[in-house]
């Protein structure tokens, strides 16, 4: 591979460009008009403006992206995360155009991208799953199935995640009230309103395993991440390793993830997500993310690897030489997402011009970002503008470093969630590692009050 099209924006575009440059690969950025002068554009060899700012006219326009790759003489397309990264039709179209898709094969994405299909693959691979249903087609059927599963239950969209279509019902009345709206929500988000039910784990932790395959049956893992601190099912804090797990449970978790992706000859970077119940020490399959995850830096830090470089190795057809016996984790890493939004105002997005961007630095501190003082944050995309990653010998030391790094992070011109993260980093639930996937939804208000007091 000599030249690569980056079909994404923001910090992941910067991330891919730098890893490609280190491997001697030229890079071309497919950018919207809003991003023609972005920092990502300054990291690549060439920028092609492919469309108007709305994602539907640019980053979600598959024919334009493929045309840009062919026009610029690229041999491969890296989709980053989000946008088209998990669209099987896009992966197929890239390959049909004679290009390499830096990610799983389209047939793989299609097989596990549908959550009901992924549950079938997981079941066949012997991976533990929470009690649940197949597709549920009506409210009446949902109520009947929920009675056999036992409340509380959660509705899930078969076609996607990100919290769309996910609602918890504690009894039949709540399920009746939410089922149709959950289906409509899924239809609007994914063009597919199919839902299924799962037993809801009240104090669940979200634990996921970073897996990598060569597409020919060789699959290894690079440990796990705890992503339990979320707001409305959107991750805000991620760390590796998951400190709550025993050695035996950790080993079983890794084995399950590898078995699942080995069963489908997985190619590239992928993540198998689980719910972990600390009360029973059991874990349950949730879904597979057939792409690089936003939170991959914490895995890179504790493994001393470059996952994007490994993606490029596999995409180039080079030998994937990693063996599980060579892989071991050292230290503890925590990532927080820096968002352009105003927590004190209902987490409203805060686009605009950044007038001050003073960032922390020093040993154990990493910042993945695509903005600087003077950058304009457009209103068209996700609000994440950076990721702050800290790494130390153990969790307590990493938390201490995180607090000091956040104190040294100053942004003006727009609102960010940094003040909220400062309070979170000192909260006893976080320090004691007693959070759950629903903790921040209830704790956010008190954290905001502390910040504004």
Instruction: Please list the active-site residues.
Output: 291
Q: What is the DSSP string of 277-343?
A: ETTTTEEEEEEEE-S--TTHHHHHHHHT--HHHHHHHHHTT------GGG----SEEEEEEEESEEG
Burial code of 106-140, b = ≥16 C-beta within 10 A, e = fewer? Answer: bebbbbbbbbbebbebbeebebebbebbeebeebe
Give the three-state DSSP class for 120: helix
State both tokens at 176: 């009746």
For the residues of 176-241, what is the DSSP string, one character each? HHHHHHHHHHHHHHHS---EEEEE--TT-EEEEEEEEEESSS-EEEEEEEEEEEEETTEEEEEEES
- Containing 100, the helix (H) or strand (E) segment is strand 100-101
Rounded CA-CA distance 79/69 in Å is: 12
Pairing outcome for strands 26-32 and 46-51: parallel
Cβ contacts of 166 within 8 Å, gap of 6 or more = 154, 155, 156, 157, 182, 233
Q: What is the DSSP string of 429-451?
A: HHHTT---TTHHHHHHHHHHHHH
Report how far residue 43's alpha carbon sits from residue 11's, in angstroms, rounded to the nearest whole number: 11
Distance CA 358, CA 72 (A): 36
Distance CA 189, CA 192 (A): 8
Are the beta carbons of 117 and 260 closer than 8 angstroms?
A: no
Residue 265 in contact with residue 217, Cβ under 8 Å? yes
Phi, psi of 147 (to 5 degrees): -65, -35
Contact 105, 267 (CB under 8 A): yes
* Residues whose CB falls within 8 Å of the CB of residue 422, separated by 6 or more in sequence, listed in order: 403, 406, 407, 451
How far apart (Å, rounded) are the C-alpha atoms in residues 277 and 258?
A: 20
């Amino acid at each position: 591979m000599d030249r690569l099209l980056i079909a994404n924006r923001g910090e992941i575009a910067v991330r891919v460009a730098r890893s490609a440059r280190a491997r001697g690969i030229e890079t071309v950025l497919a950018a919207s008009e809003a991003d023609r002068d972005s920092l990502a554009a300054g990291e690549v060899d060439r920028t092609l403006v492919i469309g108007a700012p709305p994602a539907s006219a640019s980053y979600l326009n598959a024919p334009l992206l493929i045309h840009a790759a062919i026009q610029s003489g690229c041999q491969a397309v890296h989709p980053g995360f989000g946008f088209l990264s998990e669209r099987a039709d896009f992966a197929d179209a890239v390959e049909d155009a004679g290009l390499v898709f830096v990610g799983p094969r389209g047939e793989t994405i299609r097989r596990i991208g549908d959550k009901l299909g992924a549950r079938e693959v997981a079941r066949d691979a012997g991976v533990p799953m929470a009690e649940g249903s197949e597709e549920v087609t009506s409210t009446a059927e949902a109520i009947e199935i929920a009675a056999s599963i036992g409340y509380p239950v959660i509705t899930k969209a078969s076609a996607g995640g990100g919290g769309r279509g996910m609602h918890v019902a504690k009894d039949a009345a709540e399920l009746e009230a939410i089922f149709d709206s959950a289906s409509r929500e899924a239809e609007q988000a994914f063009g597919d309103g199919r839902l299924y039910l799962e037993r809801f784990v009240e104090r669940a932790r979200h634990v996921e395993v970073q897996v990598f395959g060569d597409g020919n049956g060789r699959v290894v893992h690079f440990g796990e991440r705890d992503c339990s601190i979320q707001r409305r099912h959107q991750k805000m804090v991620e760390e590796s390793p998951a400190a709550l797990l025993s050695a035996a449970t950790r080993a079983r978790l890794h084995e399950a993830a590898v078995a699942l992706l080995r069963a489908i000859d997985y190619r590239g970077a992928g993540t198998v997500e689980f719910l972990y119940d600390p009360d029973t020490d059991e874990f349950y399959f949730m879904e597979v993310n057939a792409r690089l995850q936003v939170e991959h830096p914490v895995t890179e830090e504790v493994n001393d690897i470059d996952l994007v470089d490994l993606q490029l190795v596999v995409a180039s057809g080079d030998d994937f030489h990693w063996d599980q016996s060579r892989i071991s984790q050292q230290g503890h890493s925590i990532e927080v997402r820096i968002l352009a939004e105003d927590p004190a105002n209902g987490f409203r997005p805060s686009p605009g011009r950044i007038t001050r961007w003073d960032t922390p630095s020093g040993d154990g501190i990493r910042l993945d970002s695509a903005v600087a003082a003077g950058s304009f944050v457009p209103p068209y995309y996700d609000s994440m503008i950076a990721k702050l990653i800290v790494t130390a010998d153990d969790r307590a030391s990493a938390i201490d470093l995180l607090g000091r790094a956040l104190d040294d992070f100053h942004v003006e011109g727009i609102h960010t969630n940094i003040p909220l993260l400062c309070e979170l980093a000192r909260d006893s639930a976080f320090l004691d590692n007693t959070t759950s996937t629903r903790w921040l939804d209830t704790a956010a208000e008190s954290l905001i009050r502390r910040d504004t007091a």
